[in-house]
Each structure stands twice: as structure tokens, then as C-alpha cells.
Structure 1
Amino acid sequence: MSQRKFKRAQQKTKKCSEKEAQPAPERQSSVQAMVWYREEDWETLIAMFADAEMLPRTYEAWLERAQEMQEKVQADGDAVIKVYIDPITFPKWCKDKDLPMNAEARAQLAIEVAQAQTFSL
């Protein structure tokens, strides 16, 4: 191996070891939008969702799962914005967007609301 190639190899090795020695950059916290339901709206919403079978049968079971997810997100350092699905406005919103009333639409609404809230802060 020529001296020139040897020096290049040393430089590459040095750069690699410097990268490994540097701590990983800190993760920036973010805002997570979470779909949320009011107990008094649960039965009405379940009846209108195209994918109701994907949700827990009871509000209490859903709430327990949602709170666990919220705690995990917050433990990771992120903020949570709860976006409540309203049984009166959600069907109109879906119709205006030509979307079925399913999880994808609920998630899209949550993202839109969260973005609007974070931009106005």
C-alpha cells in the first residue's frame, strides 16, 4: 500500500471513530395529535364510523387504551393535543373532503386541527 493510500485510510478511520465518539443528537420534542372522544358521544360515533369494529366495544376500554398511549407519548417528551371528534361536525367534514368516516379520516382531522392550533400559538 502506498503511503498516500495509507494516510487516506488513517483519515477515514479517524473520521469514523470521531463520529462514533460523538453523542447522538438530542431528539427534539414534537406535538402529537390524538383523536379523542367524549363519553356522551361514544355510542353515536360508533354507530356512524365505517370501521367501528376496530375500536374497543366500550368507552371505558377505549379511554384506558388512549390514556396509556398519551402517557407513552408524553414520557417520550412529546406534547399531546387531544382532538375531539364531534358527532355533528365530523360527518360534514368527511362529506366535504369526500372521505369515509373511518380511522384515516379521524387521523387526518386530528392532524389538521393540531396544525391549526400549533400555528396559532
Structure 2
Amino acid sequence: MSMFSEGPVTVGICWYHPEDYQECRKLFAATDPLQDTYAEWLKQAEIIELQTKAQGAIVVRTFVDPKTFPKWCKKHGIKKMDSGARSEYSQVKAREMSQEN
């Protein structure tokens, strides 16, 4: 059953390429560390993705590039690169992607 009464909403979930994961971990280590390994992170992320879809949402994987994410944060006035910043990034990117379709 959908928790969204007005139809499905689009939800962005931050996603990482395996080759970028360790660099992303370093980027977020001080404020909001990620799981030790990509495999650990992926397992948790896939569970969250399934739960979100089960609630009726359309899930968009928004890939975080460790080279461009700090620039995106700066451009949007985000000083702390933590889970809140990643969440905001993923929602903005998901909206952008859904508007392109």
C-alpha cells in the first residue's frame, strides 16, 4: 500500500560507484562516516531502496562523484558535507532527472 495519497513521488537515493566509494568515505569521514566497505554500504542501500519502493515511491539512484560533490555543496551554500547534504543533493538531482523525462 502506498503512503503517498496523491500518487507516487520521486525519491532520490545517493548511490556510489564502487571505484569512488573509498574516496567518498574519506570525504564524509569527519562529519558522517559511511560503512567500511562498499559491500556493506550496498547491502544497506538496497534494503532502503526496496523499502522506499514498497511505500509506493519512484526511486532514483543519484550517483555521488567525489570530485564534483564538494563543488555542488559550495554552489548551494552547504558547508557541512554530511547525510543532510547528501539527502538534499539526491532530492535535487532526482527532481532534475524526473523533469528531463
Is TM (by shorter chain) over 0.5? yes
Which residue in the other structure is 2:61 paired with? 82
Gaps of 5+ in 1: 1-25
Gaps of 5+ in 2: none
Which residue in the other structure is 1:58 paired with? 37
Runs (4+) of structure 1 exceeding 4 A deviation are none
SS of match in other structure, 1:56: coil
Q: Which has the higher helix share?
A: 1
Size of the alignment, in residue pairs?
95
What aligned pairs does 1:15-54 form with structure 2 within 5 A after superposition? 27=5, 28-49=7-28, 50-53=30-33
Flag the structure with larger Rg.
Answer: 1
SS of match in other structure, 1:32: strand
1:35-81 Cα distance to aligned partner (Å, 9 max, x none): 1111110111111114243x211111110000011111122222110
Q: Which has the higher contact order (CA 8 A, sep 6+)?
A: 2
- State the TM-score, normalized to the length of structure 1: 0.71
1:60-104 Cα distance to aligned partner (Å, 9 max, x none): 111000001111112222211000000111011112223221111
Instruction: Note the C-alpha offset of 1:112.
Output: 0.8
Partner amino acid, structure 1, of 2:13: M
Distance, in Å, in 2 between the alignment partners of 1:111 and 1:29 is: 15
Percent of matched pairs sharing the same residue: 29
**Cα RMSD (Å) of the superposition?**
1.6
SS of match in other structure, 2:36: coil
